[in-house]
Amino acid sequence: MSSYPLQRFRRLRYNPLVRDLVRETLISKNDLIYPLFVVPGENVKKEVRSMPGVFNLSMDKLVEECKEVASLGIPAVILFGIPEHKDETGSDAYDDNGIIQRAIRAIKKEVKNLLVITDVCLCEYTSHGHCGVLRGDEILNDETVDLLVKEAVSHAGAGADVIAPSDMMDGRIGAIRRGLDEAGFKNIPVLSYAVKYASGFYGPFRDAADSTPAFGDRRSHQMDIANTREALKEALSDLEEGADILMVKPAGAYLDIIHQVKQMTNVPLAAYQVSGEYAMIKAAGANGWIDEERVMIEAFTAIKRAGADMVLTYFAKDIARYIDKH
């Protein structure tokens, strides 16, 4: 390879048109999934303390919000439910009249052109805030999986378009796939939170979803932040169990993992830019320490460049507006 002065990289950087021409990673509204939090009550739109611009919404407000999201050209939302009553086994999660089931039906009735993805986990529904059924301090795997299957089938029955298990129990993807098939939902895809780390970046989400564990933490099921090999094993085993889309979470601090999972697998890959990633950009932006819009686009582009085909992000509406403007 010949180099300077024959080669001058700046030739392709001198003006915006040539920069556009050689740009490798393109961003699109088609790649956005917007997370939403539904709460009991009416006319509730309460901003999440640690996530400016993100709200807990009652059903009526949620439907309004979904109309706006669809009109912005965002193809999908992912729903999280905060039930009126929590109990030991998170029974609202798999109640056909639970908060998410009612929310799905309300959205499907009123909003066209929007995919409704549902987060399948128990932590928002259990009184102790853990992702499964407990015996003493232990989160029981197989007993929890049985309930997750019920939850997934109930969501599909209410009209969910895609089921997204976020719990990290072993074997849940296969069990959910079989459960969906047996219940007649063989065409409903499973988006697996396949590679989910035990991350400090979820802090603000637990404000939004009121799901901080009453004791202990999630390290007995979510992955160790230091591990790569294990991420690849998780991804491959979820594929074998029938996952249609894989996810890596969080995104920004795990770009290497996104890249490697993308290289190793042959299905669409999602990445979740989680609550703490959002909160950090918002906080620094609000202080004037960074240019919020610029960093928002940079972070989104980086996640796509690493290999994500789609991104779950609290910035989805802002990114859609940015794309419309540019």
State yes or no: residue 144 binds ligand PBG (CB under 6 A). Answer: no
Q: Distance between CA 299 and CA 288 in Å, rounded?
A: 18
- Minimum distance from CB of 218 to ligand PBG (Å)? 6
Catalytic residue among 61, 86, 150, 249: 249
Task: Point out which span in 66-74, 103-111, 119-127, 143-151 binds ligand PBG (CB under 6 A).
Answer: 119-127
CB of 107 to ligand PBG, least distance (A): 19
Contact positions with ligand PBG (CB under 6 A) in 191-210: 202, 205
- Structure token digits, residue 194: 């396949």
Long-range CB contacts (< 8 A, 24+ apart) of 303-307? 303/251, 303/252, 303/255, 303/258, 303/271, 303/273, 304/25, 304/27, 304/31, 305/24, 305/25, 306/255, 306/256, 306/258, 306/259, 306/262, 306/271, 307/258, 307/259, 307/261, 307/262, 307/263, 307/269
How do 51-57 and 45-48 pair as beta strands?
A: antiparallel
Question: Considering the complex, what minimum distance in angstroms separates the CB of residue 172 from ligand PBG?
Answer: 13
Q: What token pair was written down for 309? A: 């085909």
d(CA 193, CA 198): 12
**Binding footprint of ligand PBG, residue count (CB under 6 A):** 10
Q: Which is nearer to ligand PBG, 221 or 262 (CB)?
A: 221
Instruction: Give the integer Cα–Cα distance in Å for 168 and 317.
Output: 28
Report the residue number, 119 or 234, with the smaller CB distance to ligand PBG: 119
Among 91, 144, 260, 275, interactor with ligand PBG by CB under 6 A: 275
What is the Cα–Cα distance from 90 to 122, expressed in whole angstroms? Answer: 6
Query: Residue 119 Cβ, how far from ligand PBG at the closest point, in Å?
Result: 5
Nearest to 251 by CA among 291, 311, 198: 311
Q: Sign of torsion, CA 196 199 201 203? A: positive
DSSP 8-state assignment for residue 10: G
Stretch that binds ligand PBG, among 39-47, 53-61, 117-125, 286-294 (CB under 6 A): 117-125
166 lines the binding site for ligand PBG (CB under 6 A): yes
Sequence letter at residue 116: V
- 150 catalytic residue (yes or no): no
How far is residue 273's CA from residue 40's CA, in Å, rounded to a whole number?
26
Catalytic residue among 61, 86, 150, 196: 196
By beta carbon distance, the residue nearest ligand PBG is 205
Q: Quick check: 55 binds ligand PBG (CB under 6 A)?
A: no
Q: Which of 31, 119, 151, 234 binds ligand PBG (CB under 6 A)?
A: 119
215-244 binders of ligand PBG (CB under 6 A): 218
The nearer residue to ligand PBG, 67 or 225, going by C-beta atoms, is 225
196 has catalytic annotation: yes
Where do contacts with ligand PBG occur on this chain (CB under 6 A)? 119, 121, 123-124, 166, 202, 205, 218, 274-275
Give the residue numbers marked as catalytic: 196, 249
